[in-house]
Amino acid sequence: MFLNEHAGNRVLIEDADGVDRLIDALLANPASHAMAQVFSTARERLSSGMFDHELMVGVNAERSVGILAFMDGDAGNIVTDNGAPSLDSVWYSITGHSTEYPGGTEIPVDDLRRAVKEFLSSGGKIPTSVQWKPEAW
């Protein structure tokens, strides 16, 4: 989900081309809609029917960077780690709602694409092509 109209009608991404279309769409959107919520249908759902995980994918078109935030019961909340310590937080928005993330979490868009494709092809496992750190908020 990354646009309001996707709330009741999720977009299915079935292959690497679909990941590219998603990220290209995010790059073309205004900053208020430059983040998507991604789930893997290959993972089992909770007894409630809800997904047991969430991958947030955000982009900043002006700087050609993005952020990934992953959450599940095993990993907890983790975000990408670019290895550069920074006290400056960054903001990404989905459907007009902004979320603050710690500094040092933005990665190049090409790395972000590769990681989302890995997430898809691995059945929803945490991508190993990028570094992660606990989201300490």
Answer yes or no: is pLDDT of 1 > 50.
no
pTM of the model: 0.90
Residue 86 to residue 78: CA distance in whole angstroms:
16
Burial 64-84 (b: 16+ CB within 10 A, else e): ebbbbbbbbeeeeebbbbbee
> In what helix (H) or strand (E) does residue 116 lie, and over which residues does it extend?
helix 109-121
In the predicted structure, residue 3 carries a pLDDT above the cut 70: no
Pairwise CA distance, residues 28 & 1, whole Å: 15
Query: What is the per-residue pLDDT for 11?
Result: 78
Q: Is 66 helix (H, G, I), strand (E, B) or coil?
A: strand
Q: What is the mean pLDDT of residues 13-33?
A: 94
Digit-coded pLDDT (tens) for 65-122: 999 999 999 999 999 999 998 878 999 999 889 999 999 999 999 999 999 999 999 9
- The counts of H helices and E strands in the chain are 2, 8
User: Which of helix, strand or coil describes residue 54?
Assistant: strand
Residue pLDDT, tens place only, 39-52: 999 998 999 999 99
